[in-house]
């Protein structure tokens, strides 16, 4: 059986970033989640259908990666 993780981001708001920096951050988020998902980490079952994570603090050039790491940490218990 092939297992699959699906992460749906309903809304992505980057306050204080230029449109170009926001697009780069969104690309960074996608790249980080892809890298982490390919790590083969175990993701425990969850009862909730959504989870709101706390705000992150990162420089504009690292915000996508920081968000991706925060999402993965919430799912799998830590970055890999």
Determine the Cα–Cα distance for residues 61 and 77; give it in Å rounded to an integer. 24
Q: Beta-carbon neighbour count of residue 25 at 10 Å? A: 23
| Pair of tokens at residue 58 | 């990162």
The percentage of the chain sitting over the pLDDT mark of 90, rounded to a whole number, equals: 5
pLDDT of 68: 85
Examine residue 80 and state whether it is found in any structural domain, yes or no. yes
Evaluate if residue 42 carries a pLDDT over 80. no
CB distance 56 to 70 below 8 Å: yes
Examine residue 22 and state whether it is found in any structural domain, yes or no. yes
pLDDT of 20: 92
The tally of domains found in the chain comes to: 1
| Pair of tokens at residue 62 | 């690292």
CB distance 71 to 33 below 8 Å: yes
* Domain hosting residue 78, numbered range: 15-37+54-80
Examine residue 28 and state whether it is found in any structural domain, yes or no. yes
4-8, 11-15, 31-35: range with lowest mean pLDDT: 4-8
Examine residue 6 and state whether it is found in any structural domain, yes or no. no
Q: Which of 28, 34, 21, 46 is nearest to 72 (CA)?
A: 34
Evaluate if residue 41 carries a pLDDT over 80. no
Evaluate if residue 22 carries a pLDDT over 70. yes
Examine residue 33 and state whether it is found in any structural domain, yes or no. yes
In this prediction, residue 80 has a pLDDT band, given cuts at 50, 70 and 90, of low
């Amino acid at each position: 059986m092939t297992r699959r993780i699906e992460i749906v981001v309903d809304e992505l708001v980057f306050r204080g970033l230029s449109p170009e920096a926001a697009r780069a951050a969104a690309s960074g988020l996608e790249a980080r989640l892809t890298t982490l998902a390919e790590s083969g980490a175990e993701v425990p079952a969850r009862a909730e259908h959504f989870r709101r994570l706390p705000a992150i603090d990162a420089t504009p050039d690292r915000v996508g990666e920081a968000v991706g790491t925060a999402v993965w940490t919430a799912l799998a218990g830590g970055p890999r």
